[in-house]
Amino acid sequence: MALKYKKIKGTRDILPAESEVREQLWQKARKILMRYGYGFITTPTFEATELFVRSVGEATDIVEKEMYTFTDRGGRSLTLRPEGTAGVVRAYLENHMIPPVKLAYYENVFRAERPQKGRLREFWQIGVEFIGAGDPLADAETIELGLTLLKEFGFKELKLELNSIGTVEDRQRYRNVLIEYLEKRKDELCGDCQRRLYRNPLRVLDCKIDGPKLKDAPNIMDYLSEYSRRHFDTVLEYLELWGIDYEINNRLVRGLDYYTHTVFEFKTAGLGAQNTVLAGGRYDGLVEELGGPPTPAVGFALGVERVILALNLDAQPPKPEYFVVTHGDEARKFAVELIRQLRAEGISADMSHNPKSMKAQMKLANRIGSRYTIIIGEDELSSQKVKVRDMESGEEKLLSVGELLKLG
């Protein structure tokens, strides 16, 4: 059979087994997030395009080429959210939330990227935004929270890379020196980086092709103000205090424009080029950029599909505890009522909804894989007891409905 419709490249169907994996991840995350004082937020899937252009930064990969933007029937330009932070900060302002506030989310995001392993066009992020805390302790706690989540998911080997990109002023100074350096090597740069040179020169250092060639590039650390240095050093002191290993990577810049000071990533083996599972940083300029008062903030997002891929996570989809097999019309009526009662008691139970032979029903019971099969035939009806078979041990018991319901 030729399929008439197929999913769009870069999107995925999340089937029952993986749905279970994801639910488990999110339940683990929720528990930990609550321990750190987070509340949960869900923002709209689409927003005014302008929100992302302003907040993500015009010169970023996301805004330049990765956004799903469309015009709605009213002629407005809308965009499917390419990341979570912009919507959360908009919601923070629009709902007059009072800082400090900790907001966490689990939501799908959309980017028109070239699909490959670990790189999708619709994917899910678990993210946190800590709005209204400027102290280096907030950066350190956010990093530590990220590590705690990833460890809880099952990661053993992780590399934490971090960097400081200072304040907007620090970065302006560094930018000028960097552009001067890059201009001299313009001909050696890849096409993407030649375009980025003036618009987003810091990204050039992070480029997979050009980055390694630019070994003698100026180092951002040398251009940080005293204040920025101290902020960064204090973050590092907390990490050391808590025994968290890190590696300073002065080329780490993040794809987005709104970051300031600390930027960080957790990397893992086994994902090939897409080895970052969690990325975040401080973004002291964003709230103001979106029309609020100057408000510091820090956060991260982790890619749920990359976590599942890296850890090779798998789970059993849910199965009903009982599957009822019947012989004859009377038994079938009896089964319908029994199942209704079981479900009302909070016990999962099911049966074949297409009247079929006992053999066919048993086959279905086996495929569904319920823990017990309940068999109801003429004998069972006349004795008012049903036969309950444990599908693992093969053991059978005759029970009245009352006994069965009590059993749970």
Please tell me whether residue 113 binds ligand ATP under the rule CB under 6 A: yes
Please tell me whether residue 255 binds ligand ATP under the rule CB under 6 A: yes
Please tell me whether residue 178 binds ligand ATP under the rule CB under 6 A: no
Please tell me whether residue 279 binds ligand ATP under the rule CB under 6 A: yes
Please tell me whether residue 144 binds ligand ATP under the rule CB under 6 A: no
Q: Which residue is nearest to ligand ATP (CB)?
A: 303
* Cα 167 to Cα 259: distance, rounded to the nearest angstrom: 9
The number of beta carbons lying within 10 Å of the beta carbon of residue 19 is 13
Please tell me whether residue 264 binds ligand ATP under the rule CB under 6 A: no
Please tell me whether residue 268 binds ligand ATP under the rule CB under 6 A: no
189 neighbors 182 (Cβ within 8 angstroms): yes
User: Smallest distance, Å, CB 256 to ligand ATP?
Assistant: 7
Please tell me whether residue 83 binds ligand ATP under the rule CB under 6 A: yes
Please tell me whether residue 111 binds ligand ATP under the rule CB under 6 A: yes
Please tell me whether residue 277 binds ligand ATP under the rule CB under 6 A: yes
Please tell me whether residue 252 binds ligand ATP under the rule CB under 6 A: no
Q: Which stretch binds ligand ATP (CB under 6 A): 177-185, 302-310, 370-378, 399-407?
A: 302-310
Please tell me whether residue 303 binds ligand ATP under the rule CB under 6 A: yes
Please tell me whether residue 192 binds ligand ATP under the rule CB under 6 A: no
Give whole-number Cα distances, 12 to 50, 111, 275, in Å: 28, 14, 20
Q: Which stretch binds ligand ATP (CB under 6 A): 19-27, 233-241, 273-281, 322-330?
A: 273-281
Residue whose CB is less far from ligand ATP, 41 or 365: 41
Number of residues that bind ligand ATP (CB under 6 A): 19
Please tell me whether residue 120 binds ligand ATP under the rule CB under 6 A: yes
Residue of the chain from 88, 131, 301, 351 that contacts ligand ATP (CB under 6 A): 301
Judged on CB neighbours under 10 Å (0-12, 13-18, 19+), 304 is: buried
User: Smallest distance, Å, CB 275 to ligand ATP?
Assistant: 8
User: Smallest distance, Å, CB 123 to ligand ATP?
Assistant: 4
Residue of the chain from 106, 123, 223, 259 that contacts ligand ATP (CB under 6 A): 123
Binding site for ligand ATP (CB under 6 A): 83, 111, 113, 118-120, 123, 125, 255, 274, 276-279, 301-303, 305-306
